[in-house]
Amino acid sequence: MSVDLTGLPIRASVLSRQRFGGKLQGALGGPAQHIDRAGDRYSQAIETPPMRVQPDGREWHAKLLAAEKEGGLFRISQPGLDIGNPGAPVIAAATLAGTTIPVAGLAAGYVVRAGQWFSIIHAGRRYADQARYAVAADAGGNAAIVMQNLLRVSLAAGDVVEIALPKIEGSVDGVPLDLPVTRTTSFSIRVDEDE
């Protein structure tokens, strides 16, 4: 079970994609071919603002050390984006592969914007992704969201889609072994999705 670090104060964060596909260059000047493979996933570099070592720095340090062993769960910031009320979105039907997910339970007319982050909870694990194109929910709250990446896992009907507060879950790295002797500290860490 991942350690919940969604309350960690964040000064800066940068998300990047780990790619397992790529471009296959054609032989003897032939055309290049893009190879898309399931498994592309995300990493997030996180920097916290300075905080007092006692008690905040000590408490967050303990949680971050635990997350290095158990995995961590962080929010994905989308500065300046007014998320609004997306409703209570879920996967509408079992989806085995591809880049399009059927979503139900959205607020009627809700627009998922191009580049907007969301996460899907399947079998207790979160999978983060972005919408490739803007899409509006119909009057019944249904929409087909096209993701940036191929599905990494088969989804079941009823899996929760977190749009209001998307999260990234995975291995945590970069936590210092000890706190500094000064009165303030900050952390620069990284979380990598495991699957």
Determine how β-strand 51-52 pairs with β-strand 184-185. Answer: antiparallel
- Its pTM stands at 0.88
Tell me the per-residue pLDDT of 110-157, one tens digit each, with 9 for 90 and over. 999 999 999 999 999 999 999 999 999 999 999 999 999 999 999 999
**Residue 195 confidence class, pLDDT cut points 50, 70, 90:** confident
Say whether pLDDT at 22 is over 80: no
Q: Would you state the pLDDT for residue 158?
A: 97
Domain map of the chain by residue range? Answer: 3-76+169-193, 87-165
Q: Would you state the pLDDT for residue 24?
A: 80
- CA-closest candidate to residue 43, choices 80, 10, 17, 78: 17
Say whether pLDDT at 166 is over 90: yes
pLDDT average, residue stretch 81-86: 95
Q: Measure Cα distances from 186 to 8, 75, 84, 134, 182 in Å.
A: 11, 18, 31, 37, 11
What topology does CATH give the domain 87-165?
Answer: Elongation Factor Tu (Ef-tu); domain 3 (2.40.30)
**Residue 179 confidence class, pLDDT cut points 50, 70, 90:** confident
